[in-house]
A and B are shown apart, each in its own frame.
Chain A
Amino acid sequence: MALALALVIALITLATVAVFAARIWWFPAVISAHGPAVDHQIVLTMYVTGAIFVLAQLALAYLIWRHRDRGDGTRARFFQGNNKLEATWTIAAAILFIGLNLMGYRVWAGLHFMGAEPGSTQIEVWGQQFAWYFRYPGPDGRFGPTHVDKVDDATANYLGLDRDKDQDSKDDIVTSTLAIPVNHPVQLILRSKDVTHSFFVRELRFKQDLVPGMIIPVHFTATQTGRYELACAELCGLGHYRMRAFLQVLSDEDYKKWLENMAAAQ
């Protein structure tokens, strides 16, 4: 029994490490300026926790096998603890875990303790059950107000703009795809029409909830052009699993062209 349990624990441990190490299932390629630092922190944490995982599981397996009752009638070795050891691993664990955490501090601080750079491209992101809409301020650089009583999906007025009355709304561009320029800081302003959603683009290594009643500004810079899936990551109702839009990271030229086309289509 002891040998079987020790072997099973050891095998589970080695199989787990093997699949992690083989990177059969792994993050998608990273496309944001801050993303490599996130990946670095994840991989670093993986090495630290992986080492603890292997050591602890193999120690457990070995001790189970080594100290099985062999039926020789002798008693267990008698000891009730060791304060020095206790203090050692307490301090070691505290330094290791808190130290590891502090190493990831800069990524978080860079994203969230500082505002967006001046001149960032501003885009509003709106979530609703089960669709995404994006609003660009147009040439005036200003978003017009939204009116909940003007919302009408039938006339494609998803955000409730009053283009006749509100000066700032006239040139606002509302789209169902999120296009952003590559290598240019972007500020997203996250808002929700109904329930809580979450903005998640895997390749950006970025996620942020859209909370009704709150206006949440976030910022990042995309470094690779391409088309990526934007997923909702907060349970928002029956269609949560299909609440998808695309993030298109475009070259400056393509971005301008895209914006012009979208403005013409309003």
Chain B
Amino acid sequence: MAEVVHETEHRHEAPRGFIRRYIFSLDHKVIGIQYWFLALFSVFVGLTLSIFIRIHLVWPQAHIPLLDKLSPTGAPHGQITPEYYLALLTLHGTIMVFFVLTTAPQGGFGNFALPIQIGAEDMAFPRLNMLSFWTTFVGLVVIMLTFFVGDGPPISGWTAYPPLSAVGGASGPGQAVGQNLWIISIAIFCVASMLGALNFIATTLDLRARGMSLMRLPLTCWAWFITAILSLLSFAVLLAAGALLLLDRVGGTSFFIPGGLIVSDKIINHTGGSPLLWQHLFWFFGHPEVYIAILPGMGATSHIVSTFARKPIFGYKAMVGAMGAIGFLGFMVWGHHMFISGMSPYSAFAFSVLTMAIAVPSAIKTFNWLGTILGGKLRFPTPMLFALGFVSLFVTGGLSGIFLGQPAIDLFFHDTYFVLAHFHLIMGVAAIFGIFAGTYFWFPKMFGRMLNETLGKIHFWITFVGVYAIFMPMHFLGLVGHPRRYSEMSGFEFLKPLIGLHEFISLGAFITGAVQLVFLFNVFWSIFKGAKAPANPWEATTLEWTVSSPPPHDNFAGKHPVVHHGPYEFGVPGAEKDFIMQDSPEKVTAGN
């Protein structure tokens, strides 16, 4: 076997012009950071909307300054109307799910770190990569436009169930122009995600450095790879569904609109469509989407927990298998969103068994994180705190799924605050903790400077306690039977005694929301003033830590790294240090 390593003389230099270097860049690192900033902007928009939501729920009469400027009809004198409340929650959900939870973990960290972690110079298709970012950007612009055109954003929620979303302005404010723009934005986002997914799959399969076998891939890369496959398959379905919905609205077709409807005294001239068809298509996308949001967080958590426990990940192969199983089963459980939709009760039963089956790989992951900590030498920098927070939140949010996956229990809990508690904890907050863990972990590599640890810890502690204070009480609202998407508690006697609990939740939301400004300050302060980051501040093992912070334009300065070790060789007996870099020629190995 020839052991000659060809060192190419040909180095790729960064383009010199500002626009080619920072705006229309082909560099995966710049694109990753662009995605990350796009998500950062989006998460603060989404967060602000949720604060408005929480204000309206406890003080429906409150005058919110400047909100009347944004929507004179939706919030006259800054007072949110019930319909504008629905507009706010629709955009909160849409922006958070698509432009934050789908964008930051995959487009952001995946783009930034995947090529370096596998020892590649860039993604397989840099131009496609640039295109997918800018397509995402256009999607974001279009969804933001809904605030400013017609009578505001749609009110049909992020799930946009027809006929409400299909029959136009008669069904409510925002259901005319706003709903059209919503569909167009989502369709654009679908295209961008599929382009990005192709790139991730090709890069992972084709551009791995010598010695980087699949079983030496960091678990982050496995997570991004599996997520990309899910994205490619599921966004294609949402794109089709979106096209059909738009055609129903503007083309006179009837895919989702049955005959004989009368909306606001107006007879709807459609016939033959099925509202359930949308639900099947939407959730065929929507359930894998949950895993698109959470798998990269699982990857980052595994990576970070192993690094700061100074121990190999417990059960590497089981972790890969579990992620694969989650991805695979994730396509077979969409019906658990539809137990009471009018779908066949027999398929409800089948979907529920499959849903319980998907809890098994999730349990494996949790056990393996605990196994990784067992016997470790835990260090607690901010990324580790957020990763451990992820584990705790993942357990909490996952267990409520055991309730909701049972149709008999869903008879009571479906569409109550119990569901809100469940999915916010698992796909919202746990995924966000994965994003925060990734941010604190890779920030030194992204910007060449360290984030401030003290501010990071303040951010962690208040956020960790805060999210439990917000979302745990939502289970109790669910136990009482509080339906979700109610803009006021005034309509029902049984809701009135719950206002105190709502006030507690809102208070938690205001405090937790405010502490995110500490994070924002930390980010911008550290980009300019943070301590200079060394190449490997965390004593981590993967390839991105073998190069300078930030890395050279072509990642390895014209060299081709050769991988000799598994990704998590910490504490290997007989090794020189307590960690072995993946490209270290050291002969002692953990046997990968």
Contact = CB atoms under 8 A, between A and B. Distances in A.
A198 to B, nearest CB: 7
Interface string A149-166: 101010000001000000
User: How many B residues touch the partner, as a band?
Assistant: 35 or more
Contacts of A231: 481, 483, 492
Contacts of B415: 198, 200, 207, 233-234
Given A38-B412, A64-B373, A213-B274, A108 B360 contact: no
A232 B484 CA distance: 10
Nearest to A193: B262
Given A64-B373, A76-B309, A233-B483, A207 B346 contact: no
Given A86-B315, A100-B356, A129 B263 contact: yes
A213 B491 CA distance: 28
Contacts of A233: 414-416, 483
Interface stretch (B123-131, B203-211, B253-261, B285-293): B253-261
Contacts of B391: 60
Nearest to A89: B367
Contact of A86 (B318, B366, B483): B318
Contact of B403 (A42, A77, A79, A93): A42
Interface stretch (B26-34, B238-246, B376-384, B434-442): B376-384
B408 A200 contact: no
A144 interface: no
Residue of A59, A80, A86, A205 most packed against chain B (CB within 10 A) = A80
Interface residues of A, number: 102
A196 interface: yes
A216 interface: yes
Contact of B492 (A52, A68, A244): A244
A98 to B, nearest CB: 5
Interface string B344-357: 01101100110111
B362 to A, nearest CB: 9
Given A56-B395, A113-B345, A78 B312 contact: yes
B477 A25 contact: yes
Q: B342, B355, B572 — which one has the most chain A CB atoms within 10 A of its CB?
A: B342
Contacts of B477: 25
Interface string A20-37: 100011111000000001
Nearest to B566: A80
A104 B409 contact: yes
Interface in B401-415: 402-403, 405-412, 414-415
Nearest to B399: A49
Contacts of B262: 128, 148, 151, 160, 193-194
A214 B481 contact: no
A196 B167 CA distance: 12
Contact of B348 (A9, A59, A108, A235): A108
Nearest to B260: A148
Nearest to A147: B260
Given A78-B573, A211-B275, A24 B476 contact: yes
A195 B476 contact: no
A8 B388 CA distance: 12
B22 interface: no
Interface in B476-496: 476-477, 479-481, 483, 485-488, 490-494
22 contacts: A1-B380, A2-B378, A38-B411, A46-B403, A53-B399, A60-B391, A67-B375, A69-B310, A75-B571, A76-B311, A100-B402, A104-B409, A112-B348, A129-B172, A129-B264, A195-B163, A211-B341, A213-B275, A214-B258, A235-B157, A237-B155, A242-B488
Ordered nearest first, which 7 A-B pairs have the shortest CB separation?
A213-B258, A112-B345, A77-B375, A242-B491, A238-B83, A202-B481, A25-B476
Given A213-B258, A214-B258, A231-B492, 7 more contacts: A48-B402, A53-B395, A57-B392, A78-B572, A151-B265, A205-B411, A205-B412
